[in-house]
Amino acid sequence: DLHIEDFYRDVALTLNRLFAAFPVPVTLYVEDIAGPDQTDEFGLPSARSNACFSTLLWLAKHDYLFFETTIRQEALDRAVLTQRAFVLLSQLETDAEGNTARAVDRLRGALRSAYGERISRCVHELLEQAHQESRR
């Protein structure tokens, strides 16, 4: 399921970019997350670009980021992490060896590894943790 791996990668890159800029709102370009877009002969965005843009909207709908407006299907203008996402990424975690790090540091490590399964697992765990906390 390649589209799910792309989703997790897009989530990881988006959260990392917004955490690095927090609390300053930024313009979040799809191209910066998914790579250069290859439009079709009618000038419509590629399926990959559409999927990335949909991921950004999904993150907003589920209270991980806030934005003021869209710039066509190319970007979110004045995007910033929500309190929920900031707290989630700032939480300290202890790994199996007893090392302590913030959740965002674990996410960054997964991104540096460029290993799709590691990124997917990390993002899945973050989203699951947020879901469990919202149910409390």
Which residues, at least 6 apart from 15, have a Cβ–Cβ distance to it below 8 Å? Answer: 59, 64, 81, 85, 89, 104, 107, 126
Rounded Cα gap, residues 93 and 135, in angstroms: 20
State the residue for tokens 């877009």.
Answer: 37
Q: Per-residue pLDDT for the chain (136 aa), expressed as one digit of tens each?
A: 778 999 999 999 999 999 999 999 999 999 999 988 777 777 677 888 999 999 999 999 999 999 999 998 899 999 999 999 999 999 998 877 888 989 999 999 999 998 889 999 999 999 999 888 878 7
Bridge-based pairing of strands 65-66 and 92-94 is unpaired
